Amino acid sequence: MVCRREYIARIIGHRTAQHELQAATVFAPSNIALCKYWGKRSIELNLPVTDSLSISLQDYGALTTLEVSDTEDALQLNDHNVIKNNIFYNQVFDFLNLFRNKEAPFFKINTKLNIPASAGLASSACGFAALTLALNRLFHWQLSAQELSLIARLGSGSACRSLWHGFVHWHRGVLEDGLDSYATVLPYHYPQMRVGLIVCDTSPKKYSSRQAMIQTVRYSRLYKTWPLCVEEDLKLMFESLEEGNLTALFALAERNCKAMHATLMDLPDSISYSTIETYQIIQHIRSLRDQGLPVYYTQDAGPNIKLLFEADYEDVLKKEFKEMIIVKPFV
C-alpha cells in the first residue's frame, strides 16, 4: 500500500520545496453532497467506496491564510486560537505534517468560516480545500485543479470537491495508489438553483463522520446495498442534470440522503444525527410538498437541513423557514 507521504511525493514530483511567499490567503467554497460520500475503501488515503456529486456553496466557505513560521505551529479559527491536541487541530497538522521541510518548519493558519464549524455544513471540506490552495500558492507548485483535488482529499475526503464552484463529481477511482480518485467540475449552469441552509444546532457533532463511516462500513448490514444505491442515484442524477430537471435532481438527492442515514440506523448502537428540530423541519418540508411545493432537502452528518429548491419558490419558502440562509450557487 502507498503511504500518504509517498502519495504526495508522486503528485508534487520534482517541484521545489522552497516557499516563494511568506504567506498566502485563499478562499474555497463549502460543498453539499447531492449524492453522498459515505464509506471509505482506504482510511490511509481517504479513498471512497463510491463516486459522489456535490454543489458548491458559492461565497460560503473558508478564507484561509497560511503562513510559514520559523518558531511554532498555530491555528486560529474565526480569530480564536485552537488549542493544541484538539481534534480539529490534530486533523489540520496531520495534513500539514506532509508538507513541512527545512525551509518551512512550522505553519500558522488563520481560517475564517462563514458557516458553522463541525455541524455537518462541510467546514472541513472548504477548510482543507483552502489549505491545499494556500500550499500551492505558497510553494508555487502550479498544480492543476485536478492535482490539487488529489491533495485536498487527504485532508478530508469531501475537500476534493471544494476546488470548484457549481456541480462537482468525485470519481472514486480504482487504483490502489489513489491517484485516480479526484473530482472534476461538471458543465451545468443552473442559475435558478437555490440551497437553503437551516442551522438547527451549531454544537460539535456527537459522532464524527469519520468515525461513523468506519462503524457503518464495518457493522451496518444495510450498508451492503449502498454502492448499488449510489450507482442508481448517480445515473439518474446525471440524466436530470443533462435534462435540466432540477426537481428530479432534488428528489434523488433527498432519497440518497435518506438511504445514507438509514444505514446508520442499523449499527449495533445506532446513530442518528437528527434533533427533534431536524424532524420538525423534515415534517414541514414533507407537508409543503404534499401541498404541491417542489421543495426537497438533504442532510449530512449533523442535524442541519439543506433545502433544495428553485428561485421561483424562494419568496414563499423564506416565509416558511425564517432562519434559512439562501445560497445561490450560480449567481
Where do contacts with a second copy occur on this chain (CB under 8 A)?
221-222, 224-225, 228-229, 232, 251, 255, 258-259, 261-263, 265-266, 268, 270, 274, 276, 279-280, 283
The 10 Å Cβ neighbour count of residue 189 is: 12
Q: How far is the CB of 179 from a second copy (least distance, A)?
A: 31
> Residue 112 or residue 261: which is nearer to a second copy going by CB?
261
Q: Which is nearer to a second copy, 73 or 201 (CB)?
A: 201
Least CB distance to a second copy at residue 48 (A): 18
Cα 181–Cα 305–Cα 145 angle in degrees, nearest 5 = 25
> Are the CB atoms for 122 and 115 separated by under 8 Å?
yes
Shorter beta-carbon distance to a second copy: residue 112 or 255: 255
- Cβ proximity to a second copy, 47 vs 229, nearer residue: 229
DSSP class per residue in 193-240: EEEEEE-S--SPPSS-HHHHHHHHHHH-SGGGGHHHHHHHHHHHHHHH
CB of 184 to a second copy, least distance (A): 26
Of residues 91 and 275, the one with the C-beta less far from a second copy: 275
Question: Shortest gap between Cβ of 89 and a second copy (angstroms)?
Answer: 28
Q: Which residues pair with 68 in a beta bridge?
A: 107
User: Which 3 state secondary structure label does DSSP give 47?
Assistant: strand
Question: Residue 23: CA atoms inside 13 Å, Cβ hemisphere, count?
Answer: 11
CB of 290 to a second copy, least distance (A): 10
Q: Are strands 52-69 and 106-113 parallel, antiparallel or unpaired?
A: antiparallel
Rg (CA), the chain: 19
Please give the sequence-ordered ranges of beta strands (E in DSSP) within the chain, or none if there are none: 23-35, 40-42, 47-48, 52-69, 74-77, 80-81, 106-113, 167-170, 183-185, 193-198, 296-299, 305-310, 325-327
Q: Which is nearer to a second copy, 67 or 233 (CB)?
A: 233
Residues 48 and 157 sit within 8 Å (Cβ to Cβ)? yes
Give the nearest distance from C-beta 299 to a second copy in angstroms.
12
182 contacts 152 by C-beta, under 8 angstroms = no
Provide the 10 A C-beta neighbour count for residue 28: 26
Minimum distance from residue 259 beta carbon to a second copy (Å): 5
296: helix, coil or strand?
strand
Q: Smaller CB distance to a second copy: residue 16 or 270?
A: 270
Which CB atom, from 98 or from 262, has the smaller least distance to a second copy? 262
C-beta of 225: minimal distance to a second copy in Å? 5
